[in-house]
Amino acid sequence: MRLLLLLAAAGAGYYFYRQRQLMRASGSTTNASEAMDDIHVRPNADADEHLDAAVMETFPASDPVSPGKPSETAWERQQREKRS
């Protein structure tokens, strides 16, 4: 009898866990790359500005920041493609 109750409790817990995961997945329709498009770094920016841009480009937050060689942002790429 205890085993049956334990299995029922585990099943109910799993059901509610899955429902919570499904609700989180459908909560936002924002694409992560869209949030990156707003980042802008001046052509002659100093190291602090590049570091700030690197922090903003870090997704998810658990990824390490790599402020090494500055790279082209999505916004800069769009501007370059518009000029071409």
Q: Residue 13 corresponds to which tokens in the numbers above?
A: 């817990």
| Whether residues 25 and 59 fall in one domain | no
| Whether residues 76 and 46 fall in one domain | yes
The span from the CA of 20 to the CA of 18, in Å, is 5
| Whether residues 42 and 82 fall in one domain | yes
CB atoms < 10 A from the CB of 41, how many? 20
**Structural domain boundaries, residue 72:** 31-84
| Whether residues 76 and 52 fall in one domain | yes
19 vs 60, more confident: 19
pTM over 0.75: no
Q: How many domains does the chain have?
A: 2
| Whether residues 23 and 38 fall in one domain | no
What tens digit of pLDDT does each residue of 1-46 get? 888 888 888 888 888 888 777 666 555 555 555 555 567 788 888 8
| Whether residues 35 and 72 fall in one domain | yes
